[in-house]
Amino acid sequence: MLKLQNISKRYNEKVVLENINLEIELGEIVSLLGPSGSGKTTLLNIILGLTKMDQGSILFNGHDVSYVAMKNRGFNIVFQDYALFPHLNAYDNIVYGLKNKKNLVSEQEIREYIEFLELKPHLKKKIGELSGGQKQRVALARTLVMKPKLLLLDEPLSALDGVIKESIKERIQLIAREFKLTTIIVTHDPEEALTLSDKILIIQNGGISQFGTPQQIIQQPSNEFVKEFILKQLHIKRQNIYQLFGEQYA
């Protein structure tokens, strides 16, 4: 379980996060959802260990990792732009992080991740020869071979559309189930959060506006902001809501 306790962060006297408390169960997919500038990426980076918090603690499976360096936390992130190496082919990108950690994963396991993400036909291609969805799958494979204890995804679907977006969404859900991998996703898109996650944390101005399952957020929005943000301003497709939660919420 990942437990965030009283996390606060300021930048130049401006409060960016204030007293964030959160518990995420093993294998759960949680979306951090909120408007631009609400503090989502800052919270993701604090969990990763990339950004220092001013106050608070992070517990992972009972261990306090608040002061553990990023590389020793074992939490891995897929950045929004994938950060793949353009001069290497897909396979060399996937195994890049294993250079000094050869014993972390067997050849057989690497092959399984590649099969799982349907990347076999693309292994020899340079990054520039891959589609957006293929790049995203290479980035996911590269992260999975590192056997992360926690998977962090920054806007994983924002560069994708239509069918590709849906297939990556399904992949992310399969990864979380198959590998019992706790997954935290930053998104500003309510529809994405509602259809992808087990739970959603809605952040507004650095504070928690609501934390709950998609059903709870649809059925019992805890305040006007949640109602506006989720249901009205961002125009969630009625059809998707209908399919998920039934006619009365469409």
Residue 138: CB minimum distance to ligand ATP, A: 23
Considering the complex, state which of residue 113 and residue 156 has its C-beta at the smaller distance from ligand ATP. Answer: 156
Instruction: Tokens for 89, please give them.
Output: 């082919």
Paired residues of 10 in beta bridges: 15
Amino acid at 200: I
Residue 239: CB minimum distance to ligand ATP, A: 26
Residue 206: CB minimum distance to ligand ATP, A: 7
Residue 213: CB minimum distance to ligand ATP, A: 22
Bridge-based pairing state of the strands 199-204 and 55-60: unpaired
Task: Determine the 3-state secondary structure of 218 from DSSP.
Answer: helix
Considering the complex, state which of residue 11 and residue 242 has its C-beta at the smaller distance from ligand ATP. Answer: 11
Residue 32: CB minimum distance to ligand ATP, A: 8
Element (H, E) at 50: none
Q: Report the interface residues with ligand ATP, using CB under 6 A.
A: 11, 16, 34, 36-42, 188
Considering the complex, state which of residue 64 and residue 81 has its C-beta at the smaller distance from ligand ATP. Answer: 81
Strands, E assignment, the chain? 2-11, 14-24, 29-33, 55-60, 63-64, 75-78, 150-154, 182-187, 199-204, 207-212
Considering the complex, state which of residue 39 and residue 214 has its C-beta at the smaller distance from ligand ATP. Answer: 39
Considering the complex, state which of residue 117 and residue 153 has its C-beta at the smaller distance from ligand ATP. Answer: 153
CA distances from 114 to 106, 120, 127 (A): 13, 6, 16
Instruction: Tokens for 82, please give them.
Output: 């994938």
Considering the complex, state which of residue 127 and residue 185 has its C-beta at the smaller distance from ligand ATP. Answer: 185
Which residues lie below 8 Å from residue 163, measured CB to CB, with a gap of 6+? none
Residue 16: CB minimum distance to ligand ATP, A: 4
CB 142 within 8 A of CB 93: yes
Considering the complex, state which of residue 42 and residue 134 has its C-beta at the smaller distance from ligand ATP. Answer: 42
Residue 198: CB minimum distance to ligand ATP, A: 21
Residue corresponding to tokens 């799958």: 137
* 3-state DSSP percent of the chain in helix, strand and coil, to 5: 40, 25, 35
CB 48 within 8 A of CB 77: yes
